[in-house]
């Protein structure tokens, strides 16, 4: 019986054009590995060290030993007896959700706030929606925000994010009641602020994020950046067969138009006379849901493809739905970021 | 109709199961013990044998009245607890009197729960609290052993002499609660009750010959631990690599949040799975969380089954979608 260096099922190698990564979707991080190690892990899975060394003609013994020492030290792998290999099945990468819609965005109208938020809340409930982001690009009174959030206080939502324009007339004391009154509110971003900082209201794990970035419309979206990577099981499994931005998302733009995402041109009717359910169930609306990155040019050769966000609006080629996000500066063929 | 007896907070698993019930077309009612026990709660609960009536009323509830027997086919007993009413206790203050009253109020809340159960004696339960209540650790260990599962050497004793002999025999031993541990908050700090190793040092510090009856077990030389969710004959296992981290080596629930133990899907030998099915059948349980240790020599040791264990911790890391399986089970039995 020989010992095998076996990857933990939650540490999954993903091959890129010139390098690979190990996605540690349990500890939510990733590590770069050379493509030669990727090959060893895939082709020679469950083979002993001696076998692998011999396969490569015993010419690379030292490198191979270094590889495996790295995997063990980083706790990506463990030593498993050969007879126990079948005890450790692979992780099932299927993705399922009980919700027809899992996440939603509402861009607040610029002039009037007369959307029927109670009605929208009921409609989102009907779709089983878990997460909502409310965004406002212009100045808004906090009492209006509180009023809107109140409409969702009895909903099935578990998570609400709010993005507002920074207003120097308010202090953190003014924002904290928003969290206290809305246990579902986890994240508040204030754009156009005079500093970049993140802090938590006292004694909570909630988050207020100030950014100097000016977010003036839905066009300020679609950025691809390592800080947005999600090396977790939910994203990794969803990304296998689905679009990581648009799958089961529904949005209402600042004119009340129902869209896949507020930045898009296509709309499926207005919230004032169309139900979210009728849109969510229409075939056309779901077309982009299954556009995973294995189908997107360049992205399909990128090692980050199962942990990355996506953008199907701002693309390198407007006419090609399979083209790479325009706001991504990474080149997997050279493994470099342009900015 | 599916009745879910649960609690209002920290119940993400219950919420996901409900999401699946709704998705799969089931009908349910959820009642939280804490919603009906607080002084200022907006809900009323009425249980009466007069019209075989169980009734809950309040804001946001769209069922006025519910006749128990003919509508509720299945009850999911999921972390149901009626808190003892800390607010009432404040009226009395601290000390001995408050402790006695608290003990009594817990009993009364428990009694009210039995009033609730009495309305659904003919329903199918996942699982029946009357059965769960009877399943104490020493009894389960005895039955598991009789069915051919290895169990650790176990001693319940109240005296130093016996304990010393036990430690001498097994070299390393642990102590843990005979029942479920509780969580305590003292001066704003949370304390849990965990499994702890007992060495000659601890024994040496004991000043008396006799102590409160406590449970001791031989310390198993672990390769890894297994947490298994059992549901109606199906066995879903997960391995926990707790041995490499000193913080989790004795009790993996002392979670290392910075560098969590590895949790991966596991396939038990068929022979062990079969014995677990026999055990659950014998205990009359349809579901439960089972703890097993695999020793370095390869042998499997059964530790315990918790009928009310959290299975989200197995479902998530192993991508088993157990919440969906529970929802399917409840819907199937709702007839």
In tens, the pLDDT along B140-164 reads: 999 999 999 999 999 999 999 999 9
Find, among A78, A314, A70, the residue nearest to B264 by Cα: A78
| Residue contact A88–B244, C-beta within 8 A | no
CA distances for A94 relative to A218, A233, A240, B24, B211, angstroms: 32, 10, 8, 18, 53
- Answer yes or no: is pLDDT of A261 > 60: yes
Measured between alpha carbons, how far is A30 from A304 in angstroms, rounded to an integer?
9
- pLDDT higher than threshold 70 for residue B61: no
pLDDT of residue B295: 95
CB-based contact (8 Å) between A203 and chain B?
A: no
- Residue B64's pLDDT is 47
Check residues A114 and A287 and name the one with the higher pLDDT: A287
pLDDT at position B267, please? Answer: 98
| Angle between helix A61-73 and A35-43 (nearest 10) | 80
State the average pLDDT over residues B69-78: 82
Q: What is the average pLDDT across B57-62? A: 54
- How many angstroms separate the CA atoms of B226 and B154, rounded? 20
CB atoms within 10 A of CB A119: 14
Neighbours of A336 (CB within 10 A): 9
Nearest CB among A87, A98, A237 relative to B319 is that of: A237
Q: What is the mean pLDDT of residues A187-206?
A: 84
CA angle (A165, A170, A172) in 5-degree steps: 100
What percentage of residues in chain B have a pLDDT greater than 70?
88
Of A62 and B245, the structure prediction assigns the larger pLDDT to: A62
- Nearest chain A residue to B61 by CA: give it: A154
Spatial distance between the Cα atoms of B12 and B326, rounded to a whole number of angstroms: 14
Least confident of A98-102, A303-307, B103-107, B260-264: B103-107
Write phi, then psi, for B302 (nearest 5 degrees).
-80, 130
Q: Which range (A57-71, A323-337, B115-129, B290-304) has the least confidence?
A: B115-129
Separation between Cα atoms, residue A153 and residue B111, nearest integer Å: 33
Sheet with strand B124-126: strands edge to edge:
B28-32, B2-6, B74-77, B124-126
Interatomic CA distance for residues A292 and B134, integer angstroms: 52
Which tens digits make up the pLDDT trace of A281-312?
999 999 999 999 999 999 999 999 999 999 99
pLDDT of residue A203: 66
Per-residue pLDDT, A2:
78
Q: What is the mean pLDDT of chain B?
A: 86
What is the pLDDT confidence band of residue B69, given thresholds at 50, 70 and 90?
very low
- Beta bridge partners, A79, equal A5
| Residue B232 three-state SS | coil
Residue B57: other Cβ atoms inside 10 A: 13
Please compute the mean of the pLDDT values over residues A179-196 and round it to a whole number: 90
**ipTM score assigned to the predicted complex:** 0.91
Residues of B in contact with A78 (CB under 8 A): 241, 262
Structural tokens at position B191: 């304390």
**Is residue B314 a contact partner of residue B254, using CB atoms and an 8 Å limit?**
no
Q: Does position B313 have pLDDT exceeding 90, yes or no? A: yes
Cβ neighbours of residue A288 closer than 8 Å, sequence gap 6 or more: A243, A246, A260, A312, A321
- Backbone phi and psi for residue B200, each to the nearest 5 degrees, phi listed first: -60, -30
Please compute the mean of the pLDDT values over residues B165-174 and round it to a whole number.
95
CB B222 within 8 A of CB B296: yes
Among the partner residues A10, A154, A156, nearest to B317 by beta-carbon distance: A10
Nearest to A192 by CA among A253, A139, A146: A139
Say what the pLDDT of residue B270 is.
97
Interface test with chain B among A9, A29, A102, A158, by most B beta carbons within 10 Å: A9
- Choice between B193 and A93, residue whose per-residue pLDDT is larger: A93
Residue B185 has pLDDT above 90, yes or no: no
Omega prior to B127 cis, within 30 of 0: yes
Average pLDDT over every residue of A260-282: 95
Distance to chain B for A233, nearest Cα, Å: 8
Q: What is the pLDDT of residue B251?
A: 72
Element (H, E) at A337: strand A336-337
Per-residue pLDDT tens over the stretch B241-298? 988 777 776 776 777 677 788 999 999 999 999 999 999 999 999 999 999 999 999 9
pLDDT band at B90 (very low <50, low <70, confident <90, very high): confident
Flag if B267 and A9 touch (Cβ within 8 Å): no
* pLDDT for the residue numbered B43: 65
pLDDT at A45: 94
Within 8 A of A8 by CB-CB distance, chain B residues are 241, 262, 264
Q: Which residue has the higher pLDDT, A201 or B276?
A: B276
Eight-state DSSP code of residue A324: P
Count CB pairs under 8 A between chains A and B.
66
Query: What is the rounded distance in angstroms from the CA atom of residue B310 to the CA atom of residue B7?
Result: 14
Q: Is the pLDDT of residue B68 over 50?
A: no
A142 touching chain B per CB within 8 A: no
Q: For the purposes of burial, counting CB atoms within 10 Å of the CB of B53, is it exposed (0-12), middle (13-18) or buried (19 or more)? A: middle
A128: which chain B residues are within 8 Å (Cβ-Cβ)?
A: 19, 22-23
pLDDT for res B334: 93
Q: Could you give the angle at which helices B137-146 and B270-283 cross, rounded to 10 degrees? A: 130
| Chain A residues touching residue B264 (CB < 8 angstroms) | 8-10, 88, 91
Q: Residues B201-212: what's their mean pLDDT? A: 90
Higher pLDDT, B99 or A329: A329
Helix, coil or strand: residue B120 = coil
> Given CB atoms, is A289 within the 8 Å cutoff of chain B?
no
Q: What average pLDDT does chain A have?
A: 92
Phi, psi of A146, rounded to the nearest 5 degrees: -60, -40
Lowest mean pLDDT among A160-164, A193-197, B330-334: A193-197
Q: What are phi and psi of A261, to 5 degrees?
A: -145, 145
pTM: 0.91
Q: How far apart are CA A31 and CA A306, in angstroms?
A: 14
Q: Average pLDDT for residues B99-105, to the nearest whole number?
A: 84
Q: What band does A177 get if pLDDT is binned at 50, 70 and 90?
A: confident
Q: How far apart are CA B112 and CA B37, in angstroms?
A: 10
A7 closest CA partner among A36, A38, A51: A38
Strand order of the β-sheet with A20-24 is A11-15, A20-24, A29-33
């Amino acid at each position: 019986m020989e010992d095998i260096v076996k990857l933990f099922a939650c540490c999954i190698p993903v091959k890129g054009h010139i390098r690979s990564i190990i996605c540690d979707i349990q500890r939510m991080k990733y590590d770069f590995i050379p493509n030669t190690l990727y090959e060893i892990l895939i082709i020679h899975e469950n083979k002993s060290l001696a076998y692998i060394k011999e396969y490569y003609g015993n010419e690379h013994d030292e490198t191979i030993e270094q590889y495996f020492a790295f995997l063990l030290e980083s706790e990506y792998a463990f030593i498993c007896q050969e007879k126990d290999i079948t005890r450790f099945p692979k992780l099932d990468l299927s993705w399922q959700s009980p919700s027809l819609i899992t996440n939603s965005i509402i861009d607040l109208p610029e002039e009037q706030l007369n959307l029927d938020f109670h009605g929208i809340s009921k409609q989102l409930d009907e779709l089983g929606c878990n997460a909502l982001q409310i965004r406002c690009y212009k100045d808004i009174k906090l009492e209006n925000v509180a009023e809107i959030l109140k409409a969702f206080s009895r909903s099935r939502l578990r998570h609400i994010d709010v993005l507002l324009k920074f207003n120097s007339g308010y202090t953190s004391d003014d924002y904290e009641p928003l969290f206290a009154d809305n246990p579902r509110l986890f994240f508040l971003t204030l754009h156009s602020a005079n500093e970049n900082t993140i802090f938590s209201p006292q004694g909570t794990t909630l988050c207020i994020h100030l950014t100097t970035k000016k977010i003036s419309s839905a066009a300020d979206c679609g950025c691809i950046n390592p800080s947005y990577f999600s090396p977790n099981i939910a994203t990794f499994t969803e990304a296998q067969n689905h679009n990581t931005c648009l799958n089961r998302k529904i949005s209402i733009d600042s004119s009340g138009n129902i869209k896949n995402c507020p930045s898009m041109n296509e709309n499926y009717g207005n919230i004032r006379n169309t139900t979210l359910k009728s849109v969510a169930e229409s075939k056309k609306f779901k077309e982009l849901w299954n556009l995973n990155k294995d189908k997107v040019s360049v992205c399909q050769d990128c090692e980050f493809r199962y942990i990355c966000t996506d953008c199907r609006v701002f693309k390198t080629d407007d006419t090609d739905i399979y083209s790479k996000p325009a706001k991504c500066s990474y080149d997997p063929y050279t493994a470099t970021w342009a900015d | 109709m599916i009745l879910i007896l649960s609690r209002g907070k920290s119940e993400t698993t219950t919420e996901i199961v409900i999401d699946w019930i709704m998705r799969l077309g089931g009908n349910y009612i959820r009642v939280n013990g804490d919603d009906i026990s607080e002084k200022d709660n907006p809900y009323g609960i009425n249980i009466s044998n007069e019209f075989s009536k169980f009734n809950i009323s309040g804001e946001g509830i769209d069922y006025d009245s519910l006749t128990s027997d003919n509508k509720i086919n299945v009850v999911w007993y999921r972390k149901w607890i009626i808190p003892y009413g800390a607010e009432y206790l404040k009226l009395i203050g601290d000390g001995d009197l408050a402790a006695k009253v608290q003990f009594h109020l817990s009993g009364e809340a428990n009694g009210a729960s039995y009033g609730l159960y009495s309305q659904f004696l003919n329903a199918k339960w996942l699982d029946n609290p009357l059965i769960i209540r009877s399943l104490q650790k020493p009894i389960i260990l005895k039955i598991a052993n009789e069915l051919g599962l290895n169990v650790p050497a176990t001693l319940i004793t109240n005296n130093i002499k016996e304990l010393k002999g036990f430690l001498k025999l097994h070299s390393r031993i642990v102590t843990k609660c005979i029942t479920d541990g509780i969580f305590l908050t003292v001066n704003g700090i949370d304390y849990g009750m965990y499994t702890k190793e007992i060495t000659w040092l601890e024994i040496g510090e004991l000043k008396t010959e006799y102590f409160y009856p406590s449970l001791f077990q031989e310390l198993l030389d672990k390769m890894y631990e297994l947490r298994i969710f059992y549901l109606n004959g199906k066995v879903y296992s997960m391995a926990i690599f707790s041995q490499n981290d000193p913080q989790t080596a004795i009790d993996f629930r002392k979670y290392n949040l910075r560098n969590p133990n590895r949790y991966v899907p596991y396939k038990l030998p068929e022979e062990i799975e079969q014995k677990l099915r026999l055990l659950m059948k014998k205990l009359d349980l349809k579901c439960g969380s089972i703890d097993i240790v695999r020793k370095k020599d390869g042998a499997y040791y059964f530790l315990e089954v918790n009928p009310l264990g959290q299975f989200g911790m197995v479902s998530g890391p192993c991508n088993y979608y157990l919440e969906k399986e529970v929802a399917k089970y409840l819907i199937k039995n709702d007839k």
